[in-house]
Amino acid sequence: MHAVWENLRTSVNILQGGSEQELKVDWLSFDGVFVNSLDAKIFVSSLRLEPFNAVPLIWAIYENELGIHLKEYASSQQMEILNDWKETFRRADVVVFDDYTKPMIYSALDSGNFVVIPGSPIETWELEHFMATQKKEDLRKQLGFNLTDFVIVVVGSPFIYKGIWLEHTLVM
């Protein structure tokens, strides 16, 4: 994405994670902050402080690990850890997930700011690169189809087709 932002003549600063002592950033010099990992918690925590809590924050989460451990924290009475994560998630203006299962996994941390944007931009970029480097005829041969064969591809999430007959799914 960095190259895309540069093409749009948008100034982007990429910060690497570090210890809290190394984190000395004037967040007020930024128009917004985008973080894309649970490892960015140190940055998000610093954005909870005054006067930085007014800087817009978008947090994209692709990992499941924390969500899986949330039940363990609650059942073992580790409420301090759970509450710290709740406050950190609450700081984000928007928490973006790439599929519909992740908000369910992270539901204990939901403060009404969860959004799902299905799919990953990486998959789209890989597909565009693949399509640019492959010919349709070559792909048909690799998959064992002739040029005259009619091929149907069903794309989507299993959640979309749940409860629908297979025939209806194929028509869609």
User: What confidence score (pLDDT) does residue 168 get?
Assistant: 59
From 112, 118, 107, select the one nearest 94 (Cα to Cα). Answer: 112
pTM of this structure: 0.61
Q: What is the mean pLDDT of the chain?
A: 79
Task: Please report, for the chain, the start and end positions of each structural domain, with discontinuous segments joined by +.
Answer: 2-116, 134-171
Share of the chain above pLDDT 70, in %: 79
Q: Is 60 exceeded by the pLDDT of residue 38?
A: yes
pLDDT bracket for residue 45 (50, 70, 90): confident
User: What confidence score (pLDDT) does residue 113 get?
Assistant: 92
Average pLDDT of 47-58?
Answer: 85
Alpha helix stretches (DSSP H) within the chain:
2-7, 41-46, 65-75, 79-91, 101-105, 121-133, 136-143, 158-161, 166-171
Share of the chain above pLDDT 90, in %: 5
Residue pLDDT, tens place only, 92-108: 999 998 888 888 888 88
Q: Is 70 exceeded by the pLDDT of residue 142?
A: yes
From 73, 71, 157, select the one nearest 116 (Cα to Cα). Answer: 157
User: What confidence score (pLDDT) does residue 164 get?
Assistant: 60
State the DSSP code for 114: E
Which of 43 and 66 is assigned the larger pLDDT? 66
User: What confidence score (pLDDT) does residue 98 get?
Assistant: 85
Total residue count of the chain as it appears in this document: 172
Integer angstrom CA distances of residue 129 from 122, 132, 134: 11, 5, 9
- C-alpha to C-alpha distance for 45 and 128, rounded to whole angstroms: 37
